[in-house]
Amino acid sequence: MSSANPAPTLVVFDMAGTTVEDTGLVQQSFLAADEHAGLSGNADERAEMLRYVHDTMGQSKIVVFRHLSRGNEEQAQAANKAFERCYAQLVEEGNCSAVPGAVEAISGLRAQGVKVALTTGFAHETQQAIIRALGWENLADVVLCPGDGVRGRPHPDMPLTALLRTGTESVHHMVVVGDTSSDITSGVRAGARASIGVLTGAHNADQLRAAGATHVLNSVAELPALLSTL
């Protein structure tokens, strides 16, 4: 490989829909949040809310709720807490599994000396519930979510924070992988060597490419083979 295209030494993975199976848990939890906080007033508004939720998959959930509550911070916070509570309960009930091949791909990369970060738009507590349920406490080098000083997607903060915390030499050594347009936009804005979409989650190939995906794969199981060609 030329110095202009250095071998990737950091891969930043999204979680739900990318490395973690998403079997409608997000939608179920948004509906629970709606019921708790009264975000929608009728079936049409609820359907429009779910369309917006689908379009903004991957983004920080509190930011999504602020939009849905039309800036009502108290309502947004109440909805977010209900969402996180419902999602964590579903995870703890066993409705959570790894995307086939994800653990093998991540473990293989780390065995080769590649650093790995797991990122999400969920709150810290929900992310930790997923990690505990899957036994992933030692799977990644870095685990990140939106918080103080780290904005959620589509901002570039999480990939760049992963780069800093792993001591990666530059953004040209970093690859970002996700199933949503927001994941891809975050990677593009961070200047990643490649922003790679996968088709195991929310958005289709056209949506991922429109956001700037450099590659689109069926799943993360195909990632190791691709990285060797970058």
pLDDT for res 1: 44
DSSP string, 97-141: -BPTTHHHHHHHHHHTT-EEEEE-SS-HHHHHHHHHHHT-TTT-S
One domain, residues 120 and 187: yes
Q: What are the contacts of 191-200 at 24+ separation with CB within 8 A?
A: 191/156, 192/12, 192/159, 193/5, 193/6, 193/8, 193/230, 194/8, 194/230, 196/223, 196/226, 198/17, 198/18, 200/17, 200/18, 200/21, 200/99
pLDDT for res 216: 98
Cα 204 to Cα 46, 78, 107, 211: the distances in Å are: 23, 31, 27, 11
pLDDT for res 61: 86
Classify residue 5: in a domain, yes or no. Answer: no
| pTM beyond 0.85, yes or no | yes
pLDDT for res 73: 94
Classify residue 202: in a domain, yes or no. Answer: yes
Residues of the chain with pLDDT under 50: 1-3
Residues 41-59 have pLDDT tens digits of 899 998 998 889 888 888 8
One domain, residues 109 and 214: yes
One domain, residues 101 and 194: yes
One domain, residues 76 and 14: no
One domain, residues 186 and 110: yes
Backbone angles phi, psi at 37, to 5 degrees: -105, -10
Copy the structure tokens of residue 71. 């800036």
Classify residue 31: in a domain, yes or no. Answer: yes
One domain, residues 177 and 109: yes
One domain, residues 105 and 201: yes
Domain membership of residue 219 as a residue range: 10-22+97-227
One domain, residues 209 and 117: yes
Give the residue carrying structure tokens 């810290």.
124
Last residue of a domain, one of 39, 61, 92: 92
Residues 67-80 have pLDDT tens digits of 999 989 999 999 99
Last residue of a domain, one of 92, 112, 142: 92
One domain, residues 114 and 200: yes
Classify residue 4: in a domain, yes or no. Answer: no
Classify residue 3: in a domain, yes or no. Answer: no
One domain, residues 46 and 142: no
One domain, residues 46 and 139: no
One domain, residues 56 and 67: yes
Number of structural domains, the chain?
2
Look up the CATH number of the domain holding residue 215: 3.40.50.1000
